[in-house]
Structure 1
Amino acid sequence: MVLQRDLSRRAVLTTALGALGTLGLAACGSGADDAAAPAGQTRKVATDLGEVEVPVNPGKVVAADFYPSFILQDLGITPIGVCEYTEDLVHPAYRNLLSLPKIGPNGQPNVQEIARLAPDLVVSMGYASGRSRMQPVYDQIQAVAPAIVLLSSSQAKFWRECADRLAPMIGREAQGRKLRDSYEGKIAEIKKQRAAQLAGHKWAYISQGNNSGTWTLNMAGSALGGVLADAGLQFGKEATGQTKNGQEFSYEQFNAIADCDVLVYPVTYDGKPRQPVQAVLEQSTFRELPAVKAGRLYPMPNYSVASYRIATDALNDVDKILAGL
């Protein structure tokens, strides 16, 4: 439904600030398909919470959680506030986000901080499974400013679905199309130029498990796993045909990836495995795997795929590995 804006915004903000606890935010800048649109002009867009009237050329956009700030920046919009990020996990192209005002941890946005920034648009992206938990927060956001809420049920498709949907909503369709074309063009290039390497190798994407003494085999349903699948990589027998995020194994079960001759694992942007991943790599049974003994264990800094730019850089990482096989 269309949000009603005939109440005084000052009155709404006063009520929100007095009664609400937590919420989240970010914001935006200039340059877009609709950059010349008159101030105050709006359009109706279909969000996952119903139809919302939003600015045609928003000037102050709040990103209420992890994904929007990356996607907004890809689209030429610089946020004015973001959630808290771990510095060594932020892609170098987005390091400016670290110096912006923080509105709380991811998933715990603060409505008071959003109200202080006085946004003309809030963008939130989350999983459909968490909608009931987050609905009170969405209601609070809508009391502060028009809100675009986009929900996804797939980790692998999350960033792409949200980026493709958001771009035309905020007048950045041309920028969005360019980003999509770059990503899809790189996929086509890899499949054409690395056909022999793609056909001749099986890959496994591994990381730490959720429990002590375990590791995870990430599959096509995970963020990076979806990019690897897009590139045309072949997975080992345990992951072939699987669309789930991944499966946890004990340290005694590294034989699950013994048929893979290329292994990749997540690292920070300074090249260091996170401590739980390092523990997996140090296991003697892991070091005995054929791929490891053959020197085909590769770090993947762009594993936390949150935008087309990061996904395309992940493809570049894959291309470099393929070129050396």
Structure 2
Amino acid sequence: MARSRVLSGPVERRRFLGGLTGAAAALGLTACGVSESDDKAKDGGAEKPSGAATRSLETDNGTVKVPANPERVVVLENYDALMLLDLGIVPVGIPDGAATPQLLPKESYEQLKGVATIGASGTPNSQAIAALKPDLIIDQFYKEKSAPLKTIAPVAYFDWHTSGAFWNEQIAKLAKAVNREKELAEKKKQYEDRLAEVKTAYRKQIETTTWAPLSGGPSGKFFLGTPLVTVMRDVGLRIGAGLPEKEAGFVPKSYEEMDVLKDCDALIYSVQADGRPTPTTQALLDHKLWKGVPAVKAGRAFPSRHFVMANYTFALATVDEIEGMLKKM
């Protein structure tokens, strides 16, 4: 399938890829952070069962001995949690703000809402983590913060903060870390089968239209390109508005530059999981220049609740959304 990188600049990559907490902060939803404990976690806090089978895992922090089949996994970022859900694992510890109904599909929220929290994203609380007795800790963003946690449990670090990796490459790494590659293959096949259905049923609409994804930004700006462009390209949609061919972009534009959208037959704008736009996106939708864009005037500006791309569950839901849009083209 076609794949595209998620974001191009490190600051904007962090806003989206740093997890749903970043989006929550933009919405004023982030929970109060828990500072990292001043006390060092005690050796043996994980209480690993004696004789438990282990295996060697290659990570971006070197080779790590991990359980053959981890059962108690703590994650340091929201994306890590959502990827594990795709693999059939509910983590035992998640960051503050990870379970936010405005940002998550209902099923994901229900799975995570009762999970213990281990501090704000980027400031893991070592005592809270140790109390959960994890057998594995997963991190994709905070190398310096997660390294000391190895005294509690093995840490599998896979750099997504600076690597420019694809979301589906990252979930494959996590699947290997938790020995759930079979479950990942099943999810991936569901996605590929669904893509094939939509491509066949809407071939004409796909081949004859140009699209762009966007979201509102602060101070009279909007952002061109969002992580869901990866799925748009997998469907086969042609992306316009000057986005680089192999990048999702995430390019800030002023409202005065809105004529960049004129080559697009359809637009996809981001909304929360509850269907409501964020305040910045609502400001964009209310602006007179937006209302004058040809695709908007034609009634071909569509909302998406899955602009943050975290796993195959999100990707499948996005394909369903795009199918609904194609029906109207």
Shorter-chain TM-score: which interval?
0.7 to 0.9
Aligned to 2:81: 69
Deviation of the 1:45 alpha carbon: 0.9
Q: Specify whether residues 225 and 157 from structure 1 end up closer, same or farther in structure 2 by C-alpha distance, changes over 3 A only.
A: farther
Matches within 5 A, 1:137-156: 137-152=145-160
Q: Equivalents in 2 of 1:156, 1:196: separation in Å?
A: 33
Q: Equivalents in 1 of 2:253, 2:168: separation in Å?
A: 29
Aligned to 1:11: none
Give unmatched runs, 5+ long, in structure 1: 1-15, 21-37, 127-133
Q: Aligned pair count?
A: 282
RMSD: 2.1
Q: Equivalents in 1 of 2:246, 2:167: separation in Å?
A: 20
Taking structure 2 as the reference length, what is the TM-score of the superposition?
A: 0.80
Matches within 5 A, 1:81-230: 81-83=93-95, 84-85=97-98, 86-95=100-109, 96-126=111-141, 134-152=142-160, 157-209=165-217, 211-218=218-225, 222-230=226-234
Q: Equivalents in 1 of 2:309, 2:73: separation in Å?
A: 22
Q: Which amino acid aligns with 2:323?
A: D
> What do residues 20-61 of structure 1 show as CA deviations (whole Å, max 9, x unaligned)?
7xxxxxxxxxxxxxxxxx971111110111111111111211
Greater relative CO, 1 or 2 (CA 8 Å, sep 6+): 2
Q: Equivalents in 1 of 2:250, 2:76: separation in Å?
A: 27
Any idea what SS the aligned residue of 1:223 has?
coil
Q: Equivalents in 2 of 1:57, 1:304: separation in Å?
A: 29
Deviation of the 1:155 alpha carbon: 8.9
Q: Equivalents in 2 of 1:57, 1:110: separation in Å?
A: 25
| Higher-Rg member (1/2) | 1
Aligned to 2:65: 53
Taking structure 1 as the reference length, what is the TM-score of the superposition?
A: 0.81
Give unmatched runs, 5+ long, in structure 2: 1-36, 42-49
Deviation of the 1:153 alpha carbon: 6.0
The answer (yes or no) to whether the contact 1:204–1:264 under 8 Å persists in 2 is: yes
Q: Specify whether residues 88 and 214 from structure 1 end up closer, same or farther in structure 2 by C-alpha distance, changes over 3 A only.
A: same
Q: Specify whether residues 316 and 257 from structure 1 end up closer, same or farther in structure 2 by C-alpha distance, changes over 3 A only.
A: same
The answer (yes or no) to whether the contact 1:17–1:115 under 8 Å persists in 2 is: no
Q: Equivalents in 2 of 1:254, 1:94: separation in Å?
A: 35
> What do residues 291-325 of structure 1 show as CA deviations (whole Å, max 9, x unaligned)?
11111111100111111111111111111111221
Choose between structure 1 and 2: higher helix proportion. 1
Any idea what SS the aligned residue of 1:152 has?
coil
Q: Which amino acid aligns with 1:285?
A: L
The answer (yes or no) to whether the contact 1:302–1:313 under 8 Å persists in 2 is: yes
Q: Which amino acid aligns with 1:122?
A: I
The answer (yes or no) to whether the contact 2:40–2:126 under 8 Å persists in 1 is: no
Q: Specify whether residues 52 and 156 from structure 1 end up closer, same or farther in structure 2 by C-alpha distance, changes over 3 A only.
A: closer
Q: Equivalents in 1 of 2:265, 2:165: separation in Å?
A: 27
Any idea what SS the aligned residue of 2:144 has?
helix
The answer (yes or no) to whether the contact 1:39–1:57 under 8 Å persists in 2 is: no
Aligned to 2:39: 18
Q: Equivalents in 1 of 2:163, 2:221: separation in Å?
A: 21
Q: Equivalents in 2 of 1:69, 1:164: separation in Å?
A: 14
Any idea what SS the aligned residue of 1:78 has?
coil
Q: Which amino acid aligns with 2:131?
A: R
Q: Equivalents in 2 of 1:147, 1:298: separation in Å?
A: 41
Within the candidate set 248, 273, 279, 2:277 is matched to 273
Q: Equivalents in 2 of 1:298, 1:107: separation in Å?
A: 34
Within the candidate set 265, 289, 293, 2:293 is matched to 289
Q: Equivalents in 1 of 2:277, 2:66: separation in Å?
A: 42
1:311 corresponds to 2:325: no
> What do residues 272-295 of structure 1 show as CA deviations (whole Å, max 9, x unaligned)?
000010001111011011111111
